[in-house]
Amino acid sequence: MTKTQMEEEDARMQRRRSTDTKKKTYEARTRSRKPKRKWKIKTAQKLFLSFLLSILILRPSLDPQFPIDLQFQKLSALFRSHLFSLMNASDSEKEDTEIEVIAITPNEENSKLMKKEKKKKKKVSLKDAEKKGGVCYMSRIPPHMDHVKLRHILSQFGDIQRIFLAPQDSSVQVPAKRSRGSRDQAYSEGWVEFGNKSVAKRVANMLNGEQIGGKKRSSFYYDLWNIKYLSKFKWDDLTEELALKKAIREQKLAVELSAAKRERDFYLSKVDQSRALSAIEERLKKKQKIQKDSGPVEKVIRHFPQTKPIVADAKKNKPELSDDILDAVFGGSQVMY
């Protein structure tokens, strides 16, 4: 054998070894994985029919006074026995058309119904919480305090549902920024909803007018609580009030914008008029300069040929009665009275 043949045989052997190693690794991986249980279609049909038959067989034997849960347990036990018998069947029975066992999952309609029921339950729970909850009003929010710090402080006294802090006007914040003050968001007032009315009342009565305290390093250590319980006040009232204020603000903005647009349009129209007038004046000035440079210009008198009117000649040629005839007609006969 030549060297080339030897090298070719060595290459073939290496390829075979690589393929064998790949097969072994693949088999090892497949063994490590959990094998998928597969059934025949016929076996699945048999399973379903056996379950129906078991229900029909056991139905007359069941006692109507016996609890339904225990009756269902009997049926499920019989179904399990059929299931295990089919699962332990030989492989020769499973060689035909096979079907993968899929985990039983709820249908889309059932899942939608479940979601709707959960939402309804959440809504009911929220409504109950709103009925039981109480709202406290804070007329002043200390500087450097936000909803996170406020929740951390007040959660020591009871369960807090919601917090709303009204941001301060930008016109009030400008002087503070100019005076090199803090640029944190400042709040003018706030509302806190507790999970229980009694807790809200107790917290308002206990903290109102008291020092906030806490760590001495905190910026609101020496500030006082300004908190009051709002009886018969719900969170929906607050949201409605805020929505009304927002609508009024938007309406005012729309009115101001429309007025500004009208002023702008009027100003632009006047600007256009002034530009047109200034252009006319410039043209006239240019004409006057040209006339002065060229000297005095004689007036041009134009003559147009005119025909004599026919009516005037007719009046001149019209025959008239003499004065003697008129005197004879009117003056000769005198009327006696």
Residues 6+ apart with CB under 8 A from 140: 188, 189, 226
Is 187 found in the same domain as 96? no
Residue 124 included in any domain = no
Is residue 138 a contact partner of residue 189, using CB atoms and an 8 Å limit?
A: yes
Residue 19 included in any domain = no
Is 254 found in the same domain as 215? no
Backbone angles phi, psi at 188, to 5 degrees: -95, -40
Give the pLDDT score at 312: 60
Residues in the chain, overall count: 337
Residue 175 included in any domain = yes
Give the pLDDT score at 233: 86
Token pair 């699945």 is found at 44
Residue 330 included in any domain = no
DSSP 68-79: HHHHHHHHHHHH
Give the pLDDT score at 95: 43
Which of these, 101, 98, 100, lies nearest to 42 by C-alpha position? 98
- Where among 175, 210, 233 does a domain terminate? 233
Give the pTM.
0.41
CATH of the domain at 191: 3.30.70.330
3-class secondary structure, 191: strand
- Block mean pLDDT (10 aa), the chain, length 337: 72 76 71 52 63 60 53 62 58 43 44 68 61 88 89 90 87 56 78 91 91 86 91 86 88 93 93 92 86 70 80 63 68 51
Is 263 found in the same domain as 223? no
Is 86 found in the same domain as 171? no
Give the pLDDT score at 193: 92
- Where among 233, 251, 281 does a domain terminate? 233
Is 217 found in the same domain as 149? yes
Give the pLDDT score at 277: 92
* Domain carrying residue 264: 240-271
Count CB neighbours of 84 within 10 A: 10
Give the pLDDT score at 75: 60
Which of these, 203, 210, 226, 223, lies nearest to 144 by C-alpha position? 223
Is residue 33 a contact partner of residue 86, using CB atoms and an 8 Å limit?
A: no
Is 140 found in the same domain as 226? yes
Is 170 found in the same domain as 150? yes
Q: How many domains does the chain have?
A: 3
CA 326, distance to chain mean position in Å, is 108
Is 218 found in the same domain as 163? yes
Distance from C-alpha of 46 to C-alpha of 60, rounded to nearest angstrom: 22
Give start and end residues of each alpha helix (H) in 88-194: 108-132, 147-154, 170-178
Is 229 found in the same domain as 137? yes
